[in-house]
Chain A
Amino acid sequence: MSCKKFKILLSAYLDQEITQDEEKKLLNHLKTCLDCARELKYLKQMKRVFLLKERKEPQEFFETRLFARIKNKGKQPIRRVYFPVFRKSILVILIFFLLIVGLVNYKKFFYPRPTEVISDLLIDTQLEENFEEELLEIYYGPLG
């Protein structure tokens, strides 16, 4: 077994979470490996650091504040409670809608409609001039 594996075992050994067989192998290894023995010393030191950490109490009137919040929560409008339930459905509908829009535009892109060709003709300046002349003839009689 490599030193790295023994170091992982050391961490578990410190927590008394290794099997008897693993412990036996580890203790034998520690007799000959100075590096791992030093590592065990470090880990024990670290464990001691955490033992120095004291437990704190939550702020004053924890229960009173909590029960006030519970009471207020009961008074909240129903829509706020149910909105997250619909959120997923809205998302699914939105994705579906975008897919349909994408599909329609995809067809338009590859198969352009003939109306676009007609609209091209309409912006022909010559045609526009003829159209204006025809209009003038209708209102004022033949020109010239």
Chain B
Amino acid sequence: MEEDFELLAKFKKGDQQAFELLVRKYKTTVFNTIYSIMGNAQEADDTAQEVFLKVYTKADSFKGESSFSTWLYRITINRCVDELRRRKNKIISYETEFNQEEKLKLKDVLASKERDITEELRKNELQDIIQKAINSLPEKYRIIITLKEMEGLSYIEISQIMKISLAKVKIWLFRARQKLKGKLAFLYSQGE
């Protein structure tokens, strides 16, 4: 955290290399957060660029009231929300229904042993299946489940990023999981 503040302070003084280091450090985090929320790698790449452009131009507005990563996540989430709303106007949507083959695949992987899972992980289809489950959620639940499950953030961090109360974080995560449970119900249909 201190390191981020130092890098940002150096960048504000005109050190371009400090900004490059921040980009290198956070580019994967920003990209994966956007990819999880938007569900499209090309869009995620473009949007991640927009996020760092904003950091570059708005660095002076960061007063250090939160950690740099919280501020960066907030910019990222706001950008995602803008993009999702723009997409809604264009009526672009991604498929969110599982076919029979996908259901069986996910079930098999979850039933397999650890070493088999590592092998399965290399396959892109499994990643698509998980992404499809996230895509099926409404905007706010997609964001909160990404911050919790993909980024592993604490409830306090999530509440600061999304500017909601801790109680709301609890409720939204509960509801997001309930919706996902409905989507992934086929996982529980046998062998309970």
Contacts and interface: CB of A to CB of B under 8 A. Distances in A.
A58 B44 CA distance: 8
Interface string A1-45: 000000110011001010000000000000000000010011101
Contacts of B184: 45-46, 49
A95 B20 CA distance: 45
Question: Chain B at the A interface: mostly helix, strand, loop or mixed?
Answer: helix
Interface in B124-159: 126-127, 130-131, 133, 145, 148-150, 154-155
Contacts of B187: 45-46, 49
A52 B45 contact: no
Nearest to A11: B174
Contacts of B171: 8
Interface stretch (B1-9, B28-36, B78-86): B28-36
B163 interface: no
A119 to B, nearest CB: 49
B110 A45 contact: yes
Contact of A63 (B20, B150, B180): B20
Nearest to A47: B149
Nearest to B166: A17
B37 interface: no
Interface residues of A, number: 32
B53 A73 contact: yes
A11 B177 contact: yes
A49 B35 contact: no
Given A66-B23, A66-B53, A11 B117 contact: no
B53 A55 contact: no
A59 interface: yes
A46 B177 contact: yes
Interface centre among B36, B121, B174, B180 (most CB of A within 10 A): B174
A43 B145 CA distance: 13
B162 interface: no
A53 interface: yes
A12 B173 contact: yes
A116 interface: no
A12 B192 CA distance: 23
Contact of B28 (A46, A49, A57): A57
Interface of B: 20, 23-24, 27-28, 31-32, 35-36, 41-42, 44-45, 48-49, 52-53, 56-57, 106, 109-110, 117, 120-121, 126-127, 130-131, 133, 145, 148-150, 154-155, 170-171, 173-174, 177, 180-181, 184, 187-188, 192
Interface of A: 7-8, 11-12, 15, 17, 38, 41-43, 45-50, 52-59, 62-63, 65-67, 69-70, 73
| Top 6 A-B residue pairs of the complex, sorted by shortest distance between their CB atoms | A50-B149, A58-B31, A11-B174, A8-B174, A59-B45, A53-B130
